[in-house]
Structure 1
Amino acid sequence: MSDFPSLGITGVTGAIGGEVARLLSRDGLPLVLLARNPAKAPELPRAVVRPADYGDRMLCERSLEGVETVFMVSGHESETRMEEHRSFIDAAVAAEVRHIVYTSLMGAAPDATFTLARDHFATEEYIKDAGLSYTFLRDCLYSDFLESMVGDDGVIRGPAGTGAVAVVAHADVAECAAAVLRNAAAHSGVTYTLTGPEALTMSQIAHIISEVRGSQVTFHDETIPEAYDSRKKWPAPDWQYDAWVSTYTAIAAGEMATVTEDVEDLTGHRARSLRDVLRGE
C-alpha cells in the first residue's frame, strides 16, 4: 500500500466529510484532508491537512497536488456557491485530479421545485463538462436535520401538504461515500440516490419526533404566502427565503418521496430510519 495520499476529502470539519475521513482512516488509507480552517481538521493517522477554500482557485490547486480522487462536499448555502463550486472544479482539473465524488441532492434538475437542487444540477453538469470521471451522491433531506425544523412552540410549519420525503441519515451518506471512495473507478459515471427506508409525511415526522422525545410536536401546513411571512422574522436575502420555502413545496410536489435501495447496495445494511437517528442508533 502506497504511503502517498492520492485521496482527498473536503468538508472534514463537518458531519459527513469528517465521518468519511474517519472511516477511510480506519482502513489505513493515506488521506489529504482539505479544510477551510486546517486547525479544526481531525487528527488522523496517515493523513495530511491542507488548506482549501472553494473560492480560492490557486490555493485549491496547490492543495490538490497529487490527489487523484477527491470527495467534494457541496459548499455552504450562499449566493456565490455556484461560483465557488466552479472555482474548485477548475482547480481540480488544473491539478490533474481524475475523479470527483460529489454530494448532490435528490431531484437535482434545472427545473426542480427546490431551488437549491438547481444549483446541484448545474454543479453536476460542470463536472461532466470538465471531462472528469465522477460519481454523484444525490442525498435526500437529512433526517439529522429534522428536529431543527421544530419551532419553539413544538410546531413544524411549511407548505408540504401531504407530500412525503425519504429522509436519509448523515451516517448512511458517509458510509456510502466511503464505499465509493475505496474503489472510485468501479463507480465512475454512476449517480446514486441516497434515501432512508421509507417516505414520511411531515405529520408522520412530527409524530415520530413526539414519540421518541416524549414531547408534543405537530405539523402545520402553511400556505405559500404564510410560509414566506412566517420566515420574515429571520433577516435573509430573497434567495434564502425561496430556498427555505421550496424545501417544503418540493415535498408537496412529490419530488423527494422515492425510496431507493442504494444505501443498502453500497453499505450492505438497511438504511437507518428516522427513529434510528433520533435514538442515536
Structure 2
Amino acid sequence: MSFIVTTGATGALGGRIAALLAEAGAEQRLVSRRAVGRAPRLDRATAVDAEYGDPAAMRRALDGASTVLFVSGSESADRLDRHRAFVAAARDAEVAHLVYVSFYGAAPEATFTLARDHWATEQCIRESGLAFTFLRDNLYADFLPAMAGDDGVIRGPAGRGRVAAVAQDDIARAAAGVLLRPGPHEGATYDLTGPQALTLEEVAATMTEVTGREVAYHEETVAEAYESRRVYGAPAWQVEAWVSTYLAIAAGELEGVTDAIPVLTGEPATTFADLLRRRTPESGSAQAVST
C-alpha cells in the first residue's frame, strides 16, 4: 500500500495541499495534533491525531507512508526539538521521501530568527539519510494585509527593503506536484516566491488601490519596534521573531524573485494585487507573518 501523509492538514497551507491531492485521487493520511473531527473531509483520506513531540504517536502515524509532507510546527520555544523528534520518527518509519516546508533564505546566520530554525531542521533531515525535497517559502502574501494595524498603518523597521511574498495557493500547487511525483525532485531545494519584490510602501499602496482602505507604511527604529510590540505580552523569542522579519526585509534577504512557482506548476506566480482581488484578506494580529 502506498499513500501520502499530509501533516498540518487542519491549517491553511496543509488544508490547501490536502485538497489538491484529493482532487488528483491520491490516498492520504491527514495528520495533526487534532486532526480527527477537524481535518477536511476528503475522498480517500483518513485523519489521525499525532503531535510532532510525541515520537511514538508520530511513528504510528507515518507507518507505511511513501511520501510525507512535513509542514513546520506551530511557533514555540521548543519547535526545533519537536521537528527533530518528527524527523527521527520518519526515519524509523522508513518513509521513502520527505517534503519539508522550510523558509526562504534558511541559514545559520539568517537575520530572521526562525529561518535559523528552518536551516537546523534541514540539516537534521539531511543527516537522517531520508530522501528529501525542501520548499523554502518566502513570506506568505496572504498575511501581508494583517501587518496593518486597526489604523491602517504597517509599522516596522523594514526600511526600503523588498519582499518577494508568495501566495499560499501557489505554494500548495507546487507542493502537491512534488508530492504526487517526488522522484525528479529528490535532493532539490526550491525557493518559492511571488513574481515581484515589493517595498512595504508598495504593499500599502497596493492594498489602498485594490481594497479601497487607506493603508500606509511607517518605518520604525528597532527600539520603537520592540517597544510597540510590548503590548502583546509575548515572550522575548516571539517578539524577536516578529521584529527580525522586518529586519530581514531591510537587509535584502527576502527580495530575490525566482521562477520556481511557474517551473513547478506550469502557471505564473500570483501577484499581490491579484491575490487581494481574489480573496478577502486574512484577518488577525499584525504580527502574524512569522513562519
Q: So what's the TM-score if we normalise by structure 1?
A: 0.97
Aligned to 1:149: 147
* Kept after mapping to 2: 8 A contact 1:5/1:31: no
Cα distance in structure 1, aligned partners of 2:45 and 2:152: 43
Aligned to 2:10: 13
In structure 2, distance between residues paired with 1:246 and 1:48: 38
CA drift at 1:5: 4.2
Separation (CA, whole Å) in 2 of partners of 1:18 and 1:188:
24
2:167 pairs with 1:169: yes
Aligned residue number for residue 68 of structure 2: 70
Q: CA deviation at 1:216?
A: 0.9
Q: Of 223, 229, 239, which residue of structure 2 is paired with 1:241? A: 239
**1:100–1:134 Cα contact (<8 Å) kept:** yes
**Stretches of 4+ moved more than 4 A in 1?**
none
For these two proteins, the number of residue pairs brought into alignment is 278
CA distance in 1, matches of 2:2, 2:132: 19
Q: How does 1:130-279 map to 2 (within 5 A)?
A: 130-279=128-277
Residue 63 (structure 1) shift: 1.0
Residue by residue, what CA displacement relative to the aligned partner does 1:227-263 show, whole Å, maximum 9, x if unpaired? 0000001101111111000000000000000000000
TM-aligned CA distance change 1:5 to 1:35, over 3 Å: farther
How far does the alpha carbon of each residue in 1:36-74 deviate from its partner, in whole angstroms, 9 at most, with x for none? 112101111111211121111100001111012100000
TM-align CA RMSD: 0.8
Checking the alignment, whether the CA contact within 8 Å between 1:193 and 1:262 is kept in structure 2 is yes
Deviation by residue 1:254-281 (Cα, 9 ceiling, x = unmatched): 0000000000000011100111111117
- Helix, strand or coil for the counterpart of 2:31? strand
1:176-217 Cα distance to aligned partner (Å, 9 max, x none):
000101111110000000000000000000000111110110
| C-alpha distance in 2 between matches for 1:260 and 1:57 | 36
Pairing 1:35–2:32 present? yes
TM-score (norm 2): 0.94
In 2, Cα distance between the equivalents of 1:135 and 1:264?
17
Structure 1: tracts of 5 or more residues without a match: none
Query: For the residues of structure 1 that align with 2:85 and 2:147, how far apart are their CA atoms?
Result: 32
Cα separation, 1, equivalents of 2:51 and 2:264: 30
% identical equivalent positions? 53
CA contact (8 A) 2:3 2:26 kept: no
Which whole-Å CA distance do the structure 2 matches of 1:190 and 1:210 have between them? Answer: 38
2-side partners of 1:153 and 1:28: how far apart? 45
**In the alignment, structure 1 residue 53 sits paired with structure 2 residue 41:** no
Distance 2:12 2:184 in 1: 25
Local SS of the residue matching 2:233: coil
Q: Which amino acid aligns with 2:201?
A: S
